């Protein structure tokens, strides 16, 4: 084991990370470094973590492995939030890799030839994704004569071209600078690190920002994520559901009822677990919307609620009279005891609160407040919006108040808001999420989509076409960074077929005979036959067609769609309907206008896709070459609100 890898492991273990988790990180870094060793030329790779799962550890371990492989020059790009930049810089620095670190403030006048006077020196630039810093970095590497590697933390944020669908405009500034760095002749590798890769995977195949292979950084023991909080059979234990009108701040209403309930719940839960021996500060997070006025209003309201609770418990200790607020606190106490075992009585909690509520830290996190989050009090309350995502770790978060509402949410944005995810096994029994039914449904769908995507990338890590499942309410990502003319979407009831089947070359007869043999045992039963996904994929691979841009038929996309859904959604089956002796004509310019007969055109299945297979006679009078051939028609299920988005070009 090299010094660098050893130091990375020491740092993780010193932070209290379990050995099994360290091994998971090293495994992913090992696989990536080995792939790079066997790859010639430049390539882009994805290091895919989970939200709040320790991706920075994976990034540093990968850095150590690549140093071990002989590379000496590295760039780590961080998000444009100053706190995230500082956090990443300090993490690399504190790992004590023995490298020469150059931060964003040191870029002026730097020349690699001067810094690199010792040819054995490892140089690591840590730079924010700001135009000024990236331009300086570009200038520095213009004179390099040695391979360098770029590691982009949160690569789906800021790095992509926001003018993707405006060909008359230059690429967005940050994207342009990063592209220039990556197109340097000595750029060897671009590692994209994120937990939400949808925008990256929907770039065109030959785009430098489209990863060519994925390496999954599995979370270790104690990780609590979407599967635990939203998909398990008992996940509703974490949820407190309210109407949106009871959660948001409105001009005509005072403090939202749900906010009062959530603060009461938090204070009781934090006190119970503290009296159970947990000695660290416990946190409450309120994410209502992006506006700073709402953050101020929420902070003021919470301060009022806490003061009122404090005064009420002091009065209760004197009189033991159960007021409305005391009864509410008792209700929250009983709620917590449903999932958390404690012998501490309600009155003991109240007695403790008389003094402990002097130790509440109420903080706003937005661009108006530059200070770091402080955890120096027993109870930490955090209010914010956009800054409460991507890399911001909320320590010991037990209560989340989340009602950020949108008509068409982006899956990656919502997933990055999930600050309740993380290594929280020790406190999970008191965790609660105060939110709406719609938001819970969104998180359920996003988690399922995420699981399907990771399973697919695990089975097909270098696939050219990667399906992303969602529903018609959710968008995969912000549309301005995805090339909209090369993306296919398959929604419920969608039908697609090749308009330009190959019908006249020398192998058509052989192709037809092979399919005739495969399908000879299947009759033309009106409502078809159930076949395996594998058989359907084999059939689709055998039927050739001329591919054109913007064609809705792409057999590779359909195969990817089927394989991604097969384990659960489709039970590894698809419906196949066969029609023989079909007469369909060809237009010289438009190819086939339609294939399905009037009877077949109204056939749908609620849950399964349908693969229609039409054997065309191919008569010359219809514009063909006088040879029979098969044409596939694919139809999505009719129910469920399902949508699959794929980049096919």
Q: How confident is the model at residue 389 (pLDDT cuts 50, 70, 90)?
A: confident
Single out the residue of 231, 358, 233, 364 nearest to residue 288, CA to CA.
Answer: 364
What is the Rg, in whole angstroms, of the alpha carbon atoms belonging to the chain?
A: 29
Same domain, 515 and 586: yes
Domain end (from 367, 401, 435): 435
Is residue 200 classed as helix, strand or coil in its secondary structure? helix
pLDDT above 50 for 233: yes
Average pLDDT of the segment spanning 485-505: 92
Distance of CA 335 to the CA centre of its chain: 32
Is residue 125 classed as helix, strand or coil in its secondary structure? strand
The sign of the torsion formed by the CA atoms of 20, 25, 26, 30 equals positive
Average pLDDT over the chain, rounded to an integer: 93
* Predicted confidence (pLDDT) per residue in 53-67, tens digit: 989 999 999 999 999
Domain end (from 175, 196, 216): 216
Same domain, 30 and 177: yes
* Predicted confidence (pLDDT) per residue in 130-167, tens digit: 999 999 999 999 888 889 999 999 999 999 999 999 98
- Output the pLDDT for position 279: 93
pLDDT above 60 for 570: no
For 569, residues 6+ apart whose C-beta sits below 8 A from its C-beta are: 642
Report d(CA 91, CA 87) in Å as an integer: 6
Identify whether 470 is part of a domain: no
pLDDT above 70 for 571: no
What's the total number of domains in the chain? 3
pLDDT above 70 for 307: yes
Report d(CA 392, CA 180) in Å as an integer: 29
Average pLDDT of the segment spanning 522-541: 93
Identify whether 575 is part of a domain: yes
Identify whether 444 is part of a domain: no
Report d(CA 78, CA 154) in Å as an integer: 7
* Predicted confidence (pLDDT) per residue in 9-20, tens digit: 999 999 888 888
**Residue 169 sits in a domain of what CATH number?**
3.40.50.300
> What phi and psi values does residue 475 have, to the nearest 5 degrees?
-95, 150
Same domain, 28 and 177: yes
Identify whether 468 is part of a domain: no
- Output the pLDDT for position 280: 96
Same domain, 362 and 309: yes
Report d(CA 33, CA 118) in Å as an integer: 25
Q: Which two tokens stand for residue 22?
A: 């360290």
* Predicted confidence (pLDDT) per residue in 78-95, tens digit: 988 888 899 899 999 999
Is residue 223 classed as helix, strand or coil in its secondary structure? strand
Distance of CA 151 to the CA centre of its chain: 18
Same domain, 305 and 384: yes
Identify whether 238 is part of a domain: yes
Burial class (CB in 10 A: 0-12, 13-18, 19+), 375: middle
Report d(CA 605, CA 638) in Å as an integer: 6
Same domain, 487 and 616: yes
Domain range holding 367?
A: 223-435
Domain end (from 404, 435, 466): 435
Average pLDDT of the segment spanning 427-447: 97
- Output the pLDDT for position 368: 87
For tokens 């004197």, name the residue: 318
Same domain, 65 and 121: yes
For 171, residues 6+ apart whose C-beta sits below 8 A from its C-beta are: 161, 163, 179
Same domain, 49 and 22: yes
Same domain, 430 and 489: no
The pLDDT > 70 percentage for the chain reads 97
pLDDT above 80 for 1: no
pLDDT above 80 for 117: no
The pLDDT > 90 percentage for the chain reads 80
Same domain, 515 and 570: yes
CB 92 within 8 A of CB 138: no
DSSP 8-state symbol, 435: E
Same domain, 518 and 399: no
Q: How confident is the model at residue 73 (pLDDT cuts 50, 70, 90)?
A: very high
pLDDT above 90 for 568: no
Identify whether 463 is part of a domain: no
CB 587 within 8 A of CB 492: no
Identify whether 577 is part of a domain: yes
* Predicted confidence (pLDDT) per residue in 242-281, tens digit: 999 999 988 767 899 999 999 999 999 999 999 999 999 9
Query: What does the DSSP assignment read for 24-51?
Result: HHHHHHHHHHHHHHT--S-EEEEEE--T
Q: Residue 623: left (phi > 0), alpha (psi -120 to 50), or beta?
A: left
pLDDT above 50 for 227: yes
CB 79 within 8 A of CB 154: yes
Between the alpha carbon of residue 209 and those of residues 58, 88, 141, 213, 597, the distances in Å are: 20, 22, 19, 12, 43
Same domain, 168 and 240: no
Identify whether 446 is part of a domain: no
Report d(CA 588, CA 367) in Å as an integer: 60
- Output the pLDDT for position 567: 45
Residues in the chain: 649
Single out the residue of 27, 84, 86, 142 nearest to residue 392, CA to CA.
Answer: 84
- Output the pLDDT for position 484: 83
- Output the pLDDT for position 572: 78
Report d(CA 47, CA 197) in Å as an integer: 9
Report d(CA 463, CA 443) in Å as an integer: 26
> What phi and psi values does residue 144 have, to the nearest 5 degrees?
-75, 155
Highest mean pLDDT among 77-86, 130-139, 541-550, 557-566: 130-139
**Measured at the alpha carbon of residue 425, what is the angle toward residues 420 and 427, in degrees to the nearest 5?**
70
Report d(CA 612, CA 577) in Å as an integer: 5
- 349-355: list long-range contacts, CB under 8 Å, 24+ apart: 349/268, 349/271, 349/272, 349/275, 350/313, 350/316, 350/317, 350/326, 351/317, 352/271, 352/275, 353/267, 353/271, 353/309, 353/310, 353/313, 354/310, 354/313, 354/314, 354/317
For tokens 């988005």, name the residue: 645
> What phi and psi values does residue 66 have, to the nearest 5 degrees?
-75, -30
Q: Which two tokens stand for residue 271?
A: 């006190």
- 297-302: list long-range contacts, CB under 8 Å, 24+ apart: 297/249, 298/249, 298/259, 298/383, 299/362, 299/364, 299/383, 301/249, 301/255, 301/256, 301/259, 302/259, 302/263, 302/362, 302/381, 302/383
* Predicted confidence (pLDDT) per residue in 259-270, tens digit: 999 999 999 999
- Output the pLDDT for position 440: 98
pTM: 0.92
Single out the residue of 591, 546, 570 nearest to residue 636, CA to CA.
Answer: 570
Between the alpha carbon of residue 368 and those of residues 261, 419, 515, 640, the distances in Å are: 28, 21, 67, 43
């Amino acid at each position: 084991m090299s010094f660098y890898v050893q130091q990375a492991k020491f740092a993780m273990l010193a932070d209290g990370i379990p050995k099994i988790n360290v091994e998971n990180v090293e495994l992913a870094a090992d696989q990536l470094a080995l792939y790079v060793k066997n790859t010639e030329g430049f390539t882009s790779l994805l290091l895919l973590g989970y939200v709040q799962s320790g991706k920075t550890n994976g990034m540093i371990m990968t850095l150590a492995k690549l140093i071990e492989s002989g590379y000496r020059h590295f760039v780590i790009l961080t998000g444009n939030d100053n706190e995230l930049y500082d956090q990443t810089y300090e993490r690399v620095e504190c790992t004590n890799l023995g490298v020469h670190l150059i931060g964003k403030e040191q870029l002026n006048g730097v020349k690699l030839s001067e810094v690199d006077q010792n040819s054995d020196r490892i140089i690591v630039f840590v730079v924010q994704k700001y135009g000024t810093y990236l331009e300086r970095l570009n200038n520095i590497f213009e004179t390099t004569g040695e391979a360098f590697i770029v590691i982009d933390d949160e690569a789906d944020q800021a790095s992509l071209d926001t003018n993707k669908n405006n060909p008359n405009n230059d690429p967005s500034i940050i994207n342009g600078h990063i592209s220039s760095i990556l197109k340097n002749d000595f750029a060897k590798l671009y590692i994209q690190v994120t937990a939400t890769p949808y925008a990256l995977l929907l770039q065109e195949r030959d785009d430098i920002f489209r990863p060519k292979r994925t390496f999954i950084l599995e979370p270790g023991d104690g990780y609590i994520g979407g599967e635990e909080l939203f998909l398990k059979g008992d996940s509703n234990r974490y949820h407190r559901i309210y109407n949106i009108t009871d959660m948001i701040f409105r001009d005509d209403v005072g403090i939202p009822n749900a906010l009062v309930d959530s603060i009461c719940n938090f204070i009781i839960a934090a006190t119970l677990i503290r009296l159970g021996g947990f000695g660290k500060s416990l946190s409450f997070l309120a994410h209502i919307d992006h506006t700073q006025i709402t953050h101020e209003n929420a902070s003021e309201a919470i301060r009022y609620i806490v003061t009122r609770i404090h005064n009420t418990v002091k009065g209760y200790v004197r009189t033991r009279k159960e007021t409305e607020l005391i009864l509410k606190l008792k209700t929250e106490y009983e709620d917590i005891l449903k999932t958390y075992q404690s012998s501490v009585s309600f009155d003991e909690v109240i007695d403790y609160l008389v003094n402990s509520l002097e130790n509440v830290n109420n903080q706003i996190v937005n661009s108006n407040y530059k200070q770091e989050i402080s955890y120096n009090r027993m109870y930490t309350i955090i209010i914010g919006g956009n800054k409460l995502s991507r890399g911001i770790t909320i320590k010991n978060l037990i209560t989340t108040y989340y009602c950020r509402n949108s008509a068409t949410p982006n899956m990656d944005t919502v997933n990055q808001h999930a600050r309740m995810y993380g290594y929280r096994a020790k406190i999970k029994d008191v965790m609660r999420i105060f939110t709406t039914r719609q938001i819970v449904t969104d998180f359920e769908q996003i988690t399922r989509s995420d699981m399907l995507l990771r399973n697919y990338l695990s089975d097909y890590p270098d696939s050219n076409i990667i399906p992303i499942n969602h529903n018609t309410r959710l968008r995969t990502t912000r549309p301005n960074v995805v090339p909209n003319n090369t993306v296919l979407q398959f929604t419920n009831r969608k039908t697609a077929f090749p308009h330009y089947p190959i019908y006249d070359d020398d192998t058509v007869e052989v192709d037809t005979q092979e399919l005739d043999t495969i399908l000879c045992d299947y009759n033309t039963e009106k409502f078809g036959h159930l076949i395996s996904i594998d058989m359907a994929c084999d059939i689709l691979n055998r039927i050739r067609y001329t591919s054109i841009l913007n064609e809705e038929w792409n057999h590779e996309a359909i195969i990817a769609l089927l394989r991604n859904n097969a384990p659960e959604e489709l039970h590894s089956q698809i419906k196949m309907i066969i029609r023989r002796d079909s007469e369909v004509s060809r237009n010289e310019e438009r190819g086939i206008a339609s294939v399905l007969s009037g009877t077949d055109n109204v056939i749908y299945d609620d849950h399964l896709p349908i693969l229609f297979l039409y054997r065309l006679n191919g008569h010359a009078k219809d514009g063909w070459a006088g040879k029979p051939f098969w044409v596939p028609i694919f139809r999505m299920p009719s129910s469920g609100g399902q949508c699959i988005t794929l980049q096919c070009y």
